Amino acid sequence: MNISVTCRHMDLTDALRDHAEGAVGDALSNFPRIEYVHVILDVQRHLHLAEVVIQGKDHIRVEGTADSDDMYNSIDRAVEKAERQMRKHRDKAQNHKNNPSLGEIEAQ
């Protein structure tokens, strides 16, 4: 999994880069089909925005965005949103073939 971090309207510090890469790596380590993650950090006046864009195999594309007064908090919340969407996508794909309710309908 390739992780890139981009900043807009601010300078990227090593601490922010490490936090973003660590948060993404820890949260998305259970998803082997992820190929590329792009973290975009932006500051607009007093608002700190974080956007996480995940691209994977089979045309998977998930985005999570969050804003707050603290950039670290924004990163954590955006990663949580993206992870939730990836989990939802994975569960939907896994449960599609083994749906017991479909077997009951066909048996009747």
Does 105 map to a domain?
A: no
CATH number for the domain spanning 59: value is 3.30.160.100
- List of residues 6+ apart from 75 with CB closer than 8 A: 16, 19, 20, 23, 39, 41, 50, 66
Give the pLDDT band (50/70/90) at residue 103.
low
Q: What is the pTM of this model?
A: 0.83
> What pLDDT, in 10s, does the model give residues 13-48?
999 999 999 999 999 998 888 999 999 999 999 999
Q: Which alpha helices (DSSP H) does 1-108 contain, by range?
A: 14-27, 71-97, 100-107
Does 104 map to a domain?
A: no
Does 108 map to a domain?
A: no
What number is the average pLDDT over the span 60-87? 95
Which residue range is the domain that position 27 belongs to? 2-97
Q: Which residues on neighbouring strands pair with residue 37, listed in sequence order?
A: 3, 54
Domains in the chain: how many in total?
Answer: 1
